[in-house]
């Protein structure tokens, strides 16, 4: 049945406007006979037109930039032609369809794809019979804790998979529902959180007697450690742009509620305060790494997401009323943030040598060692780890403290948002190739590197038994990161790196029951407390496959370099800015 976008949108807007919601302090209830069906598979909607790739002379860059610059109606017929890069990209082993499996294929899809789609559909969560998200994990063998909730960050790969498969409805519903949750008053004890904070997760409760569905959100007040998720709001804006880009439907982002939601999120970050840096000051555990892991301060993951959210908002916020002034503030921050991160977070062989020779206690504007980093604090491992060719953004930079650890999400999101210059993106790819065993290992890929152990682990994690060395957030391996790796590799023009990682994943991930994470130096062991059927491991694989098959999907999640943001200052002259 052909998919009619217009009637679909009409239907959705009617649904939304007729919804009557009764708000309570931390939940809202629908007064209708809706049902919550965690296990109900959504009807498989066949894709409208089969995407088929043939080879001609269009380059990879053309394909990516066509995706980057134009809205992409779901599943349009597209002809992609050959180049050396594409030849490698579309070699027969991966030229199968990664979308919802259909009956006739020119190339047989990997058997994991069908399993993955089935598992992803099983994870869908419904509110008043409408799909609104995916549950974090559907593992029947483990205590669910909060894994039976829809996490905002976890839903991102699910959303991308649905968008790439021409199924935007669940994404739109999710964006609207979380927007409603944002407007709830959020309290921890006697303290009220900022208006713009988005939840880490939400749960749909079904009352079979009253026949009502209730949504309960967690803004950090129930989370272990009681930390608010700084990343949720950024992912929300990034997803709103992905939805808009993928469907070409601007009506959602243009809605006054969505415009307000974006502004509230960014107002939290753009407010004037005591900051001397444009980076965002954060508490430990405020993002994907949601437990104490020594990432407090200015973690690269948040800075990259902040940058990407600002750039996404810039393309969505309307320049009306005070919107114009808001856009100016965004521009200023983007400029300062890109300079700061590119300059002070970047580490390559040359820069490490500079830091190694830093003088300390320099006072005044002429200081080279601006943050007074003491060379003795450089850890030994980094000298062996850093290859002559290659570089990366380090984990954190603050006064007298450089956290030299590698954090995958921060680096890949920096590439996708073009926070990394094209030279820096290539250098990150060089590092991945040179340090494959350490960063990718047997089961892609490490969330951070290296692991903390012994005394350092005791002090930094507070003796966290879940974050022991080479496990979980402490240098554990997370299959979900595969989608970000793939997108970053395509953007950096190195898709073969992603292909290698995907082939590794295909040897085990489904057989192991789609675990949340792997343990060990090489990521060889299913994680100690890893959930099975972890939705973002499943969706991450599907997104990686679909992107490699059709690189123009990158336009949803990748941003072209903004030439105006090239650093115009040199290290020694920056104080004159």
Which spans of this chain sit near ligand GLC (rule: CB under 6 A)? 136, 151, 153-154, 288, 290
Q: How far is the CB of 142 from ligand GLC (least distance, A)?
A: 12
- The distance of closest approach from Cβ of residue 288 to ligand GLC in the complex, given in angstroms and rounded to an integer, is 4
- 287/382 with CB nearer ligand GLC: 287
- Give the SS3 label for residue 131: strand
Q: Nearer to ligand GLC by C-beta: 135 or 240?
A: 135
User: Are the CB atoms for 5 and 73 separated by under 8 Å?
Assistant: yes
**Which residue lies nearer to ligand GLC by CB, 220 or 278?**
220
Distance CA 508, CA 510 (A): 6
Taking the complex as a whole, the smallest distance from the CB of residue 177 to ligand GLC amounts, in Å, to: 17
- Other residues' Cβ atoms within 10 Å of the Cβ of residue 499: 19
Q: How far is the CB of 447 from ligand GLC (least distance, A)?
A: 9
Give the integer Cα–Cα distance in Å for 19 and 16: 5
- In degrees to the nearest 10, what's the CA dihedral of 307, 310, 314, 317? 160
| Of 170 and 425, CB closest to ligand GLC | 170
Q: In whole angstroms, how close is the CB of 151 to ligand GLC at the nearest point?
A: 4
| Least distance in angstroms from the C-beta of 137 to ligand GLC | 6
**Count H helices, E strands: the chain?**
20, 15
User: Whole-number minimum distance, CB 156 to ligand GLC, in Å?
Assistant: 10
Task: Give whichever of 147 and 162 is closer to ligand GLC, judged by the CB atom.
Answer: 147
Q: Which is nearer to ligand GLC, 151 or 541 (CB)?
A: 151
Distance in angstroms (rounded) separating the CA atoms of residues 193 and 28:
18
Spell out the residues 6+ positions from residue 440 whose beta carbon is closer than 8 angstroms to its own.
432, 446, 501, 504
Closest approach, Cβ 146 to ligand GLC, in A, equals 7
CB 115 within 8 A of CB 123: no
Q: Which two tokens stand for residue 113?
A: 């794809």
Three-class secondary structure of residue 151 per DSSP: strand
* Beta carbon nearer to ligand GLC, 157 or 166: 157
How far does Cα 43 stand from its chain's mean position? 27
Cβ at position 517, least distance to ligand GLC in Å: 9
Residue closest to ligand GLC when measured from CB atoms: 136
Number of other residues whose CB lies within 10 A of the CB of residue 75: 19
Q: How far is the CB of 373 from ligand GLC (least distance, A)?
A: 29
Alpha helices in 319-446 (DSSP H): 323-340, 349-356, 380-385, 408-416, 422-434, 436-439
Q: Give the 3-state secondary structure percentages of the chain, helix then strand then coil, rounded to 5.
A: 45, 10, 45
Q: Which of 201/244 has CB closer to ligand GLC?
A: 201
Interhelix angle for 481-491 vs 495-506, to 10°? 160
Nearer to ligand GLC, 169 or 290 (CB): 290
- CA 323 from centre of chain: 26
- Residue 500 tokens read as 């290698």
- Report which of 188, 336, 224, 175 is spatially closest to residue 269, judged by C-alpha positions: 336
Nearer to ligand GLC, 146 or 398 (CB): 146
**How far, rounded to the nearest angstrom, does the alpha carbon of residue 309 sit from its chain's CA centroid?**
11
What minimum distance in Å lies between the beta carbon of 125 and ligand GLC? 14
Closer residue to ligand GLC, CB minimum distance, 426 or 467: 467
H or E, element range at 502 = helix 495-506
Residue 47 or 153 with smaller CB distance to ligand GLC: 153
Bond from prior residue into 450 cis (ω within 30 degrees of 0)? yes
Nearest distance from residue 130's CB to ligand GLC, in Å?
23
Question: Which residue carries 């943030």 as its tokens?
Answer: 337
CA-based end-to-end distance of the chain: 59
């Amino acid at each position: 049945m052909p998919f009619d976008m217009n009637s679909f949108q009409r239907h959705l807007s009617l649904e939304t406007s007729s919804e009557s919601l009764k708000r309570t302090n931390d939940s809202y209830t629908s007064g209708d006979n809706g049902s919550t069906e965690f296990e109900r598979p959504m009807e498989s909607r066949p894709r409208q037109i089969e995407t088929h790739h043939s080879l001609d002379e269009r380059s990879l860059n053309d394909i990516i930039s066509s995706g980057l610059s134009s809205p992409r109606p779901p599943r349009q017929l597209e002809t992609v032609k050959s180049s050396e890069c594409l030849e490698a990209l579309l070699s027969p082993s991966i030229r199968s369809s990664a979308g919802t499996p259909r009956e006739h294929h020119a190339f047989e899809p990997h058997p994991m794809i069908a399993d993955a789609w089935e598992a992803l559909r099983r994870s869908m969560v419904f509110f008043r019979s409408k799909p609104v998200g995916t549950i974090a994990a559907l593992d029947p063998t483990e205590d669910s804790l909060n894994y039976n909730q829809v996490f905002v960050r976890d839903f991102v790969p699910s959303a991308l998979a649905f968008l790439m498969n021409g199924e935007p409805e669940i994404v739109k519903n999710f964006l609207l529902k979380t927007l409603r949750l944002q407007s709830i008053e959020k309290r921890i004890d006697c303290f009220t959180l900022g208006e713009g904070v988005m939840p880490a997760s939400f749960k749909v409760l079904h009352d079979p007697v009253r026949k009502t569905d209730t949504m309960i959100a967690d803004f950090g007040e129930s989370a272990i450690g009681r930390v608010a998720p700084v990343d949720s709001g950024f992912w929300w804006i990034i997803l709103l742009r992905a939805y808009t880009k993928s469907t070409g439907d601007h009506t959602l982002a243009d809605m006054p509620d969505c415009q307000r939601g974006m502004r509230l999120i960014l107002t939290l970050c753009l407010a004037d305060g005591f900051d001397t840096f444009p980076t965002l000051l954060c508490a430990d555990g405020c993002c994907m790494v949601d437990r104490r892991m020594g990432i407090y301060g200015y973690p690269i993951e948040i800075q990259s997401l902040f940058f990407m959210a600002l750039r996404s908002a810039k393309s969505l916020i309307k320049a009306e009323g005070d919107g114009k002034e808001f856009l100016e503030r965004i521009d200023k921050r983007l400029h300062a943030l890109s300079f700061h991160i590119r300059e002070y977070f970047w580490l390559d062989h040359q820069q490490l040598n500079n830091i190694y020779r830093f003088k300390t206690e320099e006072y005044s504007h002429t200081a080279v060692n601006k943050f007074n980093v003491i060379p003795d604090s450089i850890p030994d491992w980094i000298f062996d780890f850093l290859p002559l060719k290659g570089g990366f953004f380090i984990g954190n930079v603050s006064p007298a403290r450089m956290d030299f650890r590698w954090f995958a999400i921060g680096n890949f999101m920096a590439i996708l948002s073009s926070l990394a210059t094209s030279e820096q993106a290539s250098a990150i790819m060089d590092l991945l190739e040179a340090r494959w065993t350490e960063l990718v290992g047997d089961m892609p890929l490490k969330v951070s590197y290296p692991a903390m152990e012994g005394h350092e682990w005791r002090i930094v994690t507070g003796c966290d038994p879940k974050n022991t060395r080479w496990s979980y957030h402490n240098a554990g391996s997370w299959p979900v990161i595969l989608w970000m790796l793939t997108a970053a590799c395509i953007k950096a023009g190195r898709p073969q790196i992603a292909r290698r990682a995907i082939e590794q994943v295909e040897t085990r991930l489904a057989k192991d029951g789609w675990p949340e994470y792997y343990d060990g130096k090489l990521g060889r062991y299913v994680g100690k407390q890893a959930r099975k059927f972890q939705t973002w491991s499943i969706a991450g694989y599907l997104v990686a496959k679909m992107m490699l098959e059709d690189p123009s999907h990158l336009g949803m999640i990748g941003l072209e370099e903004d030439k105006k943001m090239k650093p115009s200052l040199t290290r020694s002259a920056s104080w004159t800015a």
